[in-house]
Structure 1
Amino acid sequence: MSGEINWIELPAADAAKAKAFYGSLFGWTTMEFGPDYHLIQNGPAGAITSGDSSHPRVYFATDDIEASVRRVHELGGRTEDVQTIPDVGRVTDCTDDQGTTFSLYEPRA
């Protein structure tokens, strides 16, 4: 459904420490998906990843990423180029009209 949170990314300077922290806190287990990208197996849909950000990234579902990008711009926000992730879908990073970052995700058809 459009607008639902469907993915989160928890960045950490040290992904191994973050995996241990959230594993101890919530009992989460992870599966490596790529270099420093660890899918959360038994928690929210998302991943723990190495990164220099100290803020989680929230992905909102959209049925039409191109229309959502246009609407973000109409509302005074900004977007990056839409990227296709093979076998996953299309995503773009956005900033709202007050500077808050988020992402949009359109599942693969």
Structure 2
Amino acid sequence: MTQNNKINYIEIPAQNIAATKAFFSDVFGWSFVDYGPEYCSFFAQGVDGGFFKSDLVVATKNGSPLIVLYSNDLEATQNKIEQAGGKIIKPTFSFPGGRRFHFSDPNGNEFAVWSQ
């Protein structure tokens, strides 16, 4: 349900839409709806969003917001990411409340996964 003044949708750049869909489907089980060759959307993932064709990348070193996913099994998720072609760019570390690692998707976009 759309809520007034709440984050509703996120758009993320992707150099390769097909590789993006394959990666997030394989690793996280996401489903996509295509809106032409340069845009696809995802839904029911905590917040809805989409990937748009672009040579830009999301990275915290560039000042981009960090999208953080949750996992019940951090090590299993890391293995799936690596098997699907993602790269671990910041190994697992502890922080107050849990542990997390950062990875890049096949496009080079930075994400994180955390667990309690």
TM-score, normalised by the number of residues in structure 1: 0.48
TM-score, with normalisation over the residues of structure 2?
A: 0.46
Bigger Rg, structure 1 or 2:
1
